[in-house]
Structures are given as structure tokens and as C-alpha cells.
Amino acid sequence: MCPSTPAANATVFLGMITPAGRVAYVTPALPAEVALATAGTDAPVESRYRLAGPCVTTTCGFWTGDHCGLGERVVASYRETAGPAETDLPHCAIRRTCRWYAEQGRAACTACSHVVTDAR
Ligand code: SF4
């Protein structure tokens, strides 16, 4: 699963962006339609919610050929600014199938909670 996907590809409502810019993860998993139905139209849904969906590999601009370049970049950026991964991982509904976690490990989850898919 891609943990930061556009609404058009979303199947899971992963979390909400708090006023502090952190992700409040939704568990257990809810379908993306729950978020999309309450999203309104005043701002892009991806700026207020985190949505997950199937990783589309070669049709995504972040795909490097063998892994997700966005997950790699998110982890590297967080390490530079904030340091090592936290010991307590967030309660997340997609960890078993998350591509960022599979490729980057626990550090992905620490960085993930700071990601806003559409941060315009
Ligand atoms: S990186 Fe971690 S917290 Fe984020 S969606 Fe994947 S498993 Fe969940």
C-alpha cells in the first residue's frame, strides 16, 4: 500500500492532519469513502486527510525502478531535521502492507506522521 496517495487512488482513510501538522491515524481501518464524504470543497482533501491506496509502481513519479523514492526521501529528510526514529510507533491500520514501512522500517513511521500529501 502507498501511505500517501491522491484521493483518486485511495481505498483506505489513513488519518487526519491535526492543527499542529501531525497525522492522527485512524484505526481500525476505514474505507477512503468515509473521508471523502466529509471532505467538503474548501481545500484539497489531501491537505486535510491522509489516504492510502494500492502502490502503482511504474505509473508513479516517485517510483525509482525498485522502490519508493518518496518514502526514502521522507525518511532522509526527517533524519536530517529531527534525528532518530521514535521507539513507539503510531497505531496505523496498514502497517502489514505499507510500502514505506516494508522498505524503510520503523524510521518510516516516525517520519510518516509529519507528512501532508498536499501541503500547498
Ligand atoms: S509509514 Fe508506518 S505509520 Fe506510515 S502508513 Fe506506513 S506503516 Fe503506517
The count of structural domains within the chain is 1
Query: Per the domain annotation, does 64 fall within a domain?
Result: yes
Residue 78 lies in a domain: yes
Domain presence at residue 87: yes
**CA of residue 101 to ligand 1 center, whole Å:** 6
CB-CB contact of 102 with 109 (8 Å): no
Specify the pTM: 0.92
Q: What's residue 84's pLDDT?
A: 66
Cβ(109)–Cβ(71) under 8 Å? no
Task: For residue 108, report the distance from its CA to the centre of ligand 1, in Å.
Answer: 6
With respect to residue 43, please indicate whether it lies within any of the assigned structural domains: yes
Are 2 and 52 in contact, with CB atoms under 8 Å apart? yes
For 67-89, the pLDDT digits (tens) are 999 999 999 998 888 766 667 89
pLDDT band at 96 (very low <50, low <70, confident <90, very high): very high
Asked if the structure places residue 34 within a domain, the reply is: yes
Whether the predicted pLDDT of 40 surpasses 80: no
Range of the domain at 34: 7-112
Mean pLDDT over 30-56 rounds to 91
Q: Confirm if 31 and 13 have CB atoms less than 8 A apart.
A: yes
Mutation test residue for ligand 1: of 87, 100, 113, the one with most atoms within 8 Å of CB: 100
In a domain, 99, yes or no: yes
Mean pLDDT, rounded, for 26-48 = 89
What is the atom index within ligand 1 of the atom nearest the CA of 14? 5
Helix H or strand E encompassing 36: helix 32-37
Q: What is the pLDDT of residues 46-66, one digit of tens each?
A: 999 999 999 999 999 999 999
Residues 6+ apart with CB under 8 A from 53: 1, 2, 5, 9, 10, 11, 12, 32
